[in-house]
Amino acid sequence: MTDPAAACVGEIVELHRVFERALGAPGEDLSSRFEAAFTPGFAMVMSNGRRLARAEVLEFLRNARGARGEGFRIVIEDVAVLHAAPPLMLMHYVERQFLPGGLETSRRAGALFDVSQDTPRWLFVQETWITPPPG
């Protein structure tokens, strides 16, 4: 991998495109893409503070297929390197979700990647609400 930072930016954007497809329509099963992206020890802390292990994240994604409805969109902004120490890269980004009916939410995320292979793999994600859903 010649530029680990650029590869991480590409992976962040691409995986969120896959999330958009998976959550927006109940069609294709994208489980293998998610399994390949997340390392065996992957974990995340969701915006509500709940910690999920890899198996829980994969189960959530399998069960959430089509849950957001057609027209669901995700936009990734403000991607930056927080710390580069290959084979680890700590990245930052803002994820904006646009739900059918005009509802918008946004969250700030920090993501730790393993860049020792050709494709960056996700080790950990921490999310924080910027604009939480109503209610």
CATH of the domain at 120: 3.10.450.50
From the list 3, 34, 24, 11, the residue with the least C-alpha distance to 120 is 11
Round to whole Å and give the CA distance between 3 and 89. Answer: 11
49's torsion region: left (phi>0), alpha (psi -120 to 50) or beta?
left
Task: Locate the DSSP E strands across 23-120.
Answer: 38-45, 51-53, 73-85, 88-98, 104-114
Each residue's pLDDT, cut to its tens digit, for the chain (135 residues) gives 579 999 999 999 999 999 999 999 887 778 899 999 999 999 999 999 999 999 999 999 999 888 888 889 999 999 999 999 999 999 999 999 998 888 999 999 999 999 999 999 999 999 999 999 887
Domain span at residue 125 reads 4-131
Contact 35, 22 (CB under 8 A): no
From the list 135, 131, 86, 107, the residue with the least C-alpha distance to 19 is 107
pLDDT, residue 1, reads: 53
- For the chain, the domain total comes to 1
CA–CA distances in Å: residue 98 to residues 101, 106, 134 = 9, 9, 13
